[in-house]
Amino acid sequence: MEKEKAKILINLARESIEKGLKGKMYEPENIDTSKEIKEEFNYKRGVFTSLYVYPEKKLRGCIGVPYPVYPLWKAVIISSYESAFCDPRFNPLKKEEFSKIVIELTILTEPEKLTGEPEDYINQIEIGKHGLIVQRGIFKGLLLPQVAIEWNFNEEEFLSETCLKAGLPDNAWKDKDTSVYRFSGILIKEKEPFGEIEVKDLSSL
């Protein structure tokens, strides 16, 4: 993705958060999104928005739409609003914090189920390239590709941590009743608040 297009999506995320700070809901139809933007980003993708306090790179919120159920422009609006105001781990973002956060968008490929025996899963995961989803019944957890890099996980640790995120035992991925999916994506992030944009295609790593 070109930086110009990536910047449009970051701006869309900021607009969604700014609307929320003014007490307005994120209803995508209420965001001032031009017809051109809607047409450009009308394809469906999952998206996660991560907010970090600058310059400490301290997480301030992270929520997303894991599956491609919305057009990309709409998924960005929804995930950015919910990251700022609905992440249960944090208080809702305040106006005075808005200028101090950097926004990171991860645009996901469609998740694909890992096949074969559970012991074969490790060979189907590339650290830095793949994120994981673990699901068993009502339990589901997702970790983005960059998490494994940030925490220096190997493949087995990444599987175990995703199980824990799902509220399952760390070895639940070895159970055939547990489904494991991998995905990749495009990482778009601000280097500083309102600053230069960096784009990385994780699937090409």
82 neighbors 63 (Cβ within 8 angstroms): yes
What distance in Å separates the CA atoms of residue 60 and residue 83, rounded to the nearest whole number?
8
Share of the chain above pLDDT 90, in %: 85
What distance in Å separates the CA atoms of residue 49 and residue 10, rounded to the nearest whole number?
10
Q: Residue 39 — very low, low, confident or very high, per pLDDT cuts 50/70/90? A: confident
> What pLDDT does residue 203 have?
86
Q: Do the first three CATH levels of 3-109+185-204 and 112-183 match, i.e. the same topology?
A: no
What distance in Å separates the CA atoms of residue 72 and residue 191, rounded to the nearest whole number?
22
What CATH class does 112-183 carry? alpha beta
pLDDT per residue over 94-151, tens digit each? 999 999 999 999 999 999 999 999 999 999 999 999 999 999 999 999 999 999 999 9
Domain ranges of the chain: 3-109+185-204, 112-183
pLDDT per residue over 52-101, tens digit each? 999 999 999 999 999 999 999 999 999 999 999 999 999 999 999 999 99
What does pLDDT average to over the chain? Answer: 93
Is 80 exceeded by the pLDDT of residue 27?
no
CATH placement of domain 3-109+185-204? 3.30.700.20
> What pLDDT does residue 204 have?
80
> What pLDDT does residue 104 have?
98
pTM > 0.85: yes or no: yes
Selection from 6, 143, 125 nearest residue 72 by Cα: 6
Q: Residue 205 — very low, low, confident or very high, per pLDDT cuts 50/70/90? A: low
Which range is least confidently modeled, 28-32, 38-42, 161-165? 28-32
